[in-house]
Amino acid sequence: MKYEPTRLEIFLTRLAFLLYGKSVYQAFADCLPFNGNEQVLDFGCGMGTVAYYAARKLPNGQLTCLDISERWLNACRKTLRRYRNVIFLKGESQLLANESFDVVYCHFVLHDISDSELERVIPALTKSLKPGGVLVFREPLSNTKKISVIKYLIEQNRLIPKNSRITDIPVMGNALENVYIKQ
């Protein structure tokens, strides 16, 4: 579902990024499995909160920031204006080419997507991974039914669970972080 944020929402997110950037977003980016030369997708990048920390870990790779919202993507362009290894893509997961990414990550995105849309989004994300590629998500644990749907759809699409942990995130509460490998 397409949704454009208000200016206030973008402002408040920027404020949260300034206050909690390291403890929330950098902490997640630091756990992503990068060597530095990967092709990586930030699905639902928002204003680039995680991308800001992920891009600097890819000196010889490339980060694609994808968002369905023009306004969030413009805010992301602003956050990442100093990086040369980032490209911006506005639209849906269906735009993605098959087997083009080594790592795909989703940070607080999938829980907001309806079940019927997830049935399109998750296969598109898994197809966009190269064989051996890695999918990582971090989503709030509050909606356990949604988490079950996400996990079910990912495993239906030939991804093998590798790691799983629960973290307590400042302000946001408990979140589930799962890592999957594409066979």
CB of 28 to ligand SAM, least distance (A): 8
Q: Catalog residues that contact ligand SAM under the rule CB under 6 A.
A: 3, 44-46, 49-50, 66-69, 72, 92-93, 107-109, 112-113, 117, 121
Pick 171 or 183: Cβ nearer ligand SAM: 171
CB of 42 to ligand SAM, least distance (A): 7
Pick 93 or 178: Cβ nearer ligand SAM: 93
Pick 34 or 72: Cβ nearer ligand SAM: 72
CB of 58 to ligand SAM, least distance (A): 17
Residue 167 bridge partners (DSSP): 175
- Beta-carbon contacts of 167 under 8 Å, excluding residues fewer than 6 positions away, are 27, 138, 174, 175, 177
- 168 DSSP assignment: E
Query: Which amino acid, 59?
Result: P
Beta strands (DSSP E) in 13-53 are 39-43
Helix (H) or strand (E) holding 159: strand 159-169
- Beta-carbon contacts of 156 under 8 Å, excluding residues fewer than 6 positions away, are none
CB of 160 to ligand SAM, least distance (A): 24
CB of 3 to ligand SAM, least distance (A): 6
Residue 69: both structure tokens together: 């919202």
Helix (H) or strand (E) holding 179: strand 173-182
Which residue has its beta carbon closest to ligand SAM? 46
With CA atoms as reference, report the closest residue to 44 among 133, 122, 115: 122
